[in-house]
Every structure is written in C-alpha cells, then in structure tokens.
Structure 1
Amino acid sequence: MKITRSSTGDDAVATAKGPSDWFTGDVYIDAAAASPPPSRVSASLVHFMPNARTHWHRHALSQTVFVTEGVGLCQRRGGPIEVIRPGDRVLFEANEIHWHGASGDRLMVHLAINESDDDNDAVEWLDPVTDEEYNADRA
C-alpha cells in the first residue's frame, strides 16, 4: 500500500495549472491515479473554469470522463456539441478527435481516465478549439 498525501510530505502532489498548449482558459489538474507499470491507467481530476476547454485531441487507447461538478460541453469532430452534467460518463473511442470543457457560465469538473502503453501515449494534442467552434449551436 502507498498513500500519496495531497498536501504534505516529500511525495505530495500539488494542483497543476493546465498548459496553454493543451487548454484554452483557466484549467487546473489534480493527479488522482498514476499507477506504476504494468498498469496502463492514469486518472486526473480536471477543473475547468467557465469557457475553459481542451484543445482538439485524441487518445490511441480511448478516454473516459466522469463529470463530478458543474455543467460541461463535449464534442467529437463532425458531431454536435453535447451538454454534460454531474454523473454523466463520456467514452471517447480510440483515436476519436474531440474536446471537452466547461460551459460559458458554469465551471465543470471531471475525472479523466486514460490508458497508455509502450506504443501509445495517453493523448495526442491537436489545434485549439476556436471561439466559433465553442460557441456553435448545442445539441
């Protein structure tokens, strides 16, 4: 058993600001799970402030997000923008290009669960979601 303390000690994990080459707007990330090999799963609690969102991206081994708080939006390339709320679980299929983030007037928090292996990184980041794309009609 290993306990990683959230706020004290040498192995404490601090909240990280989401980098601007992955996100638009204010996003904060807390590592929730990072198991050593042979495990391939990692999970992060991602906090999106209103209007914040990921860039377009894809996951070679799929991604699941579980909304825990607020109101969010998500979209796969070519599909409608979907509104997501607490308790909603979204599966993005392997290599499905997509984005997700907060609505314009509410924050959104989700648990992002990803896999990686020796041949596949957890995520491939692409171009930013434009304001026009983000503000398009909702499903």
Structure 2
Amino acid sequence: MKLQPTKPTVKNPATQFTGDVWVDMIGVPQDDGQRASTARVQFSPGARSNWHSHGLGQTIHVTEGVAWIQARGGEVLEVHPGQTVYTAPGEEHWHGASPGAFMEHLVMMDIPDDPATATTWLEPVSDEEYLAGTARRP
C-alpha cells in the first residue's frame, strides 16, 4: 500500500475546453503495471470539453449538477448525480455542464502503453452544437 502524493487543482487548457474547467487527479498509473487514471473534474456553467476520444474508452460518473454528454452523431444525454455514462474506445464525444449550474464528475479510464494515445483531442464544440440539444430536452 502506498499513500499517493496530493496534487494541486489544475485549470484545464483553453485549447481543449470552452469555459472554465478544473481537474483534480485522484489516481494515476503506477510503476507496477496498474493503468487506471481517475480525476474529479469541475465545469462552470456552460463549460465543455472539445470533441475527443479515448484509446481505451472512458467512464464518466456525475457527482453534482447536470452534465450534458454527446457522442458524435448522437443525441445529447442529460446526466444527473449518481448516473454513469461509458464511452467506447475511439468514440468521439464531448461532455460539459448545462448552462445554468456548475457540474462535477469523476472520469475513469485506463492509460494505454503509449500514453500519447490515451486521449485524442479534436475541434471545439461550437455554441450552436452545444445548444442544439436543448430543444430535445423536456
């Protein structure tokens, strides 16, 4: 057993996110072959990731607020605290906060042997794409 060092909260880069987003790394891969990565991510209202995909998939578990999550070509999912979404390896998607409230989620994924392939960042989600899903929500 090994106590992990505390890492500071980091603001995510504007090249990968629209709006203010902060991350706290909870778990990182270890030298013994364990490959899991876990982070707590906080989004300001309306903030969202760029389109992206993960080489080995990603699990998203919402803990506070309301998340909007969309796979490319799919419907926007409205995800509430306690709900979990899985994105398959290579599935292009984005996730972020609804316009009216902060949102927090945990993200969990395995890191491939080549860490550079863990996440492939793509173009930003436009305001039009982001707001297009509002008409489909109750």
Residues in 2 aligned to 1:113 and 1:137: alpha-carbon distance in whole angstroms: 25
Of 67, 71, 77, the residue aligned with 1:76 is: 71
Distance of 2:15 and 2:38 partners within structure 1: 20
What does residue 3 of structure 1 align with? 3
1:113 aligns with 2:108: yes
1:100 to 80, 87, 95: 95
1:13 is matched with which residue? 7
Q: Which residue pairs with 1:8 in the alignment?
A: none
More helix, by proportion:
2
Deviation beyond 6 Å, 4+ runs, structure 1: none
1:26 paired residue number = 20
**Cα deviation digits, residues 21-74 of structure 1 (max 9, x gap):** 111100000001013131111010000010000000001100000000111100
Structure 2 residue 129 is matched with structure 1 residue 124: no
CA shift, 1:137, in A, is 2.7
* 2:43 paired residue number: 48
Amino acid at match of 1:67: V
Match of 2:56 in 1: 61
Could you tell me how far 1:75 is from its partner in structure 2?
Answer: 0.2
Equivalent pairs counted in the alignment come to 133
Q: Please, what TM-score do these two structures have when normalized by structure 2?
A: 0.91
For structure 1, the residue ranges without an aligned partner over 5 or more in a row are 5-10
- Matched residue of 1:39: which SS? coil
Distance of 2:101 and 2:85 partners within structure 1? 19
Structure 2 portions without partners, runs of 5+: none
Distance 1:127 1:66 in 2: 24
TM-score by length of 1: 0.91
Q: What is the SS of the residue equivalent to 1:43?
A: strand
% identity of equivalent residues: 44
